[in-house]
Each structure stands twice: as structure tokens, then as C-alpha cells.
Amino acid sequence: MSVEFQQILIEPAYRKVAAAIGERILTRRLREGERLPAEAELARQLGVNRSTVREALRELESHGLVERRPGSKLMSVSRPRQQAVAEGVSRALALHDVTFLEVWVALTILEPPLAEVAARCRDSADIVALAAAAARFAADNTDASRAVAHAAQFFRCLGQATHNQVLSLAQQPLLQLLEPSLRIVIDKVPQARARIVTAERRIVEAVQTGQAPLARTWMEKHIRDFRKGYEIAGIDPKHPVDAGWQGGRTGA
């Protein structure tokens, strides 16, 4: 019986160039803010056409590793922005048909210990930002879209208060996926606004006074309320999250 081999994948030259430059960025041999040589000089050093270098730089730019700063003709090394990373992850999760239930379960695992860490690690600026986010929701929650934006900002402020970039970044895609269902809950569940106000106020108090277990307990209650809201609003928790979902396809 003859042995069959798989075809060898031939990688485009621009991908090899992007990998070579990217490797220097990721190993910190090229630091954030450092300017890259001009396209012509990169092409000379790498032994490729200038068009190949240009295509490689476009790919690196799309990943947030380089950027062209105002007033400069040269590309500079940059870091991917958290928001851009989160959007990419949330889109990928939506394309994998993650459900509202899966998002909720992930939030129950992540957010309560995150609140506990925030209560231990916060500083005075974090307390001010968190209290301001809670106050914005309490004062401006009539419109569902604005209410959702304020609620999401409260979570983000809590993540920032941990002073842990991994935790802060981990929550971002989940918050983006939570927003469509939270908008429906706020619209359809009369008591939702008041319960969110109460939970946020108690979490702020616990974080402010450094009561880590209490911050965790109130966040657990807060996240459980989302599941109750799904049930009251008639949202099917097993429905996939997707960008076009408007809450009208429950029970699918």
C-alpha cells in the first residue's frame, strides 16, 4: 500500500515578512513607539519587493501591532487596543453560536471573584470611577440603550479596579455579548432597573470599604438576577448570541 503525503502549503511572501517583523515585536526587540525603517529599506534588508513589505505592514496593522502616527510617513510599533481585541473575540464567539446561557455561565464564573479582587486592589481613583458609573445608571436609565451602556461601563470600571490586565481584558468580550439580552431585560422587566441600581450601590460600598467577600456576594446576586430577567422577559437562554438578534426569536 503506497503512502500518501499531504500537500505542502506555500506561504505567501508577505506573510513571512509579517511573521519576521511580528516576531521582533512580540519578543520586545522592537518596542512600542519605535519607528520601523521605510518600506524601501525593509524591502532591501529582507530581500523582497516593496509591495510585499507594504502588504505585510497592512497585515500587522490589522492586528494592532503597528500603526502610522499622525505626521509620520513611517510605521511605529504599537499594542493592540483592548477594545479591538475584545471585539474580535466577541465576533468569533458569536460565529461559534455561543448561547446566552453560555455567556451567563461565564459571567457567573468570572465576575464574582473579579469583584472580590477589585475590593482588595482598588485605589481612590477606581472608587471614584466606579461610583460615578453607578450614579450614571441610577440617574439615566429610562432609555434602554443608554442604560445598557452605563451598566457595561460599571463592569468595566470594576475590571479596571483589579489592576489585572488579564481579568480586565477577559471580561470585555462577555460584556459585548451580554448587551443585546440586557437591553431586552431592561425593556421588558419593570423591576430590572431598580435591582441593578441596588446591586451596583452595594458593590460600590463593598469595594470602597474593602469588604472583598461582600463584594463577591453582591456580584453573585447581581449575575443571578440576569438569569431571572431572561425568564421573565421570555428570552430563550439557549438561543445563540448574534449581532442581528433583536429578541424576537425566543423559543427557537
pLDDT digits (tens, 9 = 90+) for 10-62: 789 999 999 999 999 999 999 999 999 999 999 999 999 999 999 999 999 99
* Digit-coded pLDDT (tens) for 89-138: 888 888 899 998 999 999 999 999 999 999 999 999 999 999 999 999 99
- What is residue 197's three-state secondary structure? helix
Q: Does 251 score more than 80 pLDDT? A: no
Backbone angles phi, psi at 35, to 5 degrees: -85, 140
C-alpha dihedral, 219 to 223 to 225 to 230, nearest 10°: 170
Q: Does 248 score more than 50 pLDDT? A: no
Beta bridge partners of 67: 76
Q: What's the confidence (pLDDT) of residue 243? A: 47
Q: What's the confidence (pLDDT) of residue 235? A: 87
C-alpha distances (whole Å) from 173 to each of 9, 16, 89, 186 are 33, 30, 6, 20
pTM: 0.79
In this structure, are residues 108 and 197 in contact, taking their beta carbons and an 8 Å threshold? no
Q: Name all domains of the chain by residue range, CATH numbers in brackets.
A: 13-77 (1.10.10.10), 83-233 (1.20.120.530)
Q: What's the confidence (pLDDT) of residue 250? A: 39
Q: What is the rounded distance in angstroms from the CA atom of residue 91 to the CA atom of residue 101? A: 17
* Digit-coded pLDDT (tens) for 132-182: 999 999 999 999 999 999 999 999 999 999 999 999 999 999 998 988 889
